[in-house]
Amino acid sequence: MLLFFEIAFGICIGCKVCNAFNKDKAQLCPGGVCEVEPVRGVGGNWAQAAVLLPFDRLIGAAKVIVANQRCEVPDFAKALGHEKKWKLHNNCK
């Protein structure tokens, strides 16, 4: 997650966390990624939204797929008569 934000948005969260908990600021940032430049317009925000929105939708779709697969009761649970317990354990309805 930290690498994704640094690559996609140019935000080094690791340095932000380090600066929040230490009195000395982070000094050895590679390539000056922690140097904050003021935003000169709205263009950067649209580009970031264009990357973040499809990523968010992909994660949401993956969550639904995994949840649907998790709610399918396997054969061994059916053979033991534990269908209700399986669904209860996996938060299925």
Instruction: For the chain, give the mean pLDDT.
Output: 80
Q: Is the pLDDT of residue 78 over 60?
A: yes
Over the stretch 51-77, which tens digit does the pLDDT of each residue have?
889 999 999 999 888 877 778 888 999
Asked if 21 and 47 sit in the same domain, the reply is no
> Based on the domain organization, do 33 and 46 belong to the same domain?
no
C-alpha distances out from residue 20 to 15, 17, 23, 75, Å: 8, 5, 8, 51
Statement: residue 19 has pLDDT above 90 = no
Q: Are residues 29 and 48 in the same domain?
A: no
* Alpha-carbon gap, residue 8 to 53, rounded angstroms: 12
The count of domains in the chain is 2
Q: Which two tokens stand for residue 42?
A: 């709205």
Domain that holds residue 28: 1-37
- What lies within 8 Å, CB to CB, of 70 at 6+ separation is 90, 92
Whole-model pTM: value is 0.36
